[in-house]
Amino acid sequence: MKKMTLALGLLATAVFAHAADPLNGTVWKTIDDQTKQPKALVKFTEQKDGSLSASIQSVLTPGEENACKKCEGTYHNKPLKGVNIVNGLKNVGGAYEGGTILDPKSGKTYKLKGKLADGGKKLELRGFVGVAALGRNQTWVRAN
């Protein structure tokens, strides 16, 4: 009986470990579109509803860590560290959709979709307004 209980416990643990999203707990370097230099470290967290959010853990560009000047709401004029820039991103069969991303520089929020690439070393994202064709791509590099 003890062996069966142990086996079922191990099986349940494996199932729950497998259920976690591959982005959950990972840290990524965001890359500036123009300079191609790392801008920030961003960490993904899985929410109770299964969606993902991501917050800035540290700002890598000197002089830009001070405030989210153009952000609205709770982040207005707050330091960038801790700002949630990704919200509501959902895993749909290996790709990610349905989320939003905040551009702290402009204070604007865009729809977001993406996918893991290069064996999980890169995260290819597309922020857009309306339809995905009207947007821009960013590739983040895995930091952990």
* Pairwise CA distance, residues 47 & 69, whole Å: 27
Looking at residue 118, its amino acid is D
* Pairwise CA distance, residues 125 & 131, whole Å: 14
Q: 48-70, pLDDT tens digit by residue?
A: 999 999 999 999 988 887 778 88
Say whether pLDDT at 2 is over 80: no
Confidence of residue 39 (pLDDT cuts 50, 70, 90): very high
List, as one string, the DSSP characters of the chain.
Answer: -HHHHHHHHHHHHHHHHHHS-TTTT-EEEEE-TTT--EEEEEEEEE-TTS-EEEEEEEE-STT-SS--TT--GGGTT--STT-EEEEEEEEETTEEEEEEEEETTTTEEEEEEEEEEGGGTEEEEEEESSSTTSEEEEEEEE--
Confidence of residue 76 (pLDDT cuts 50, 70, 90): confident
Say whether pLDDT at 80 is over 60: yes
Q: What is the pTM of this model?
A: 0.82
Q: Which domains does the chain have, with CATH numbers?
A: 21-142 (2.40.128.520)
Quickly count: other Cβ atoms within 10 Å of residue 12's Cβ: 10
Are the C-beta atoms of 125 and 136 separated by less than 8 Å?
no
* Pairwise CA distance, residues 128 & 11, whole Å: 41
Average pLDDT over residues 121-138: 91
Token pair in block for residue 10:
């191990």
Confidence of residue 17 (pLDDT cuts 50, 70, 90): very low
pLDDT, position 74? 84
pLDDT, position 132? 83
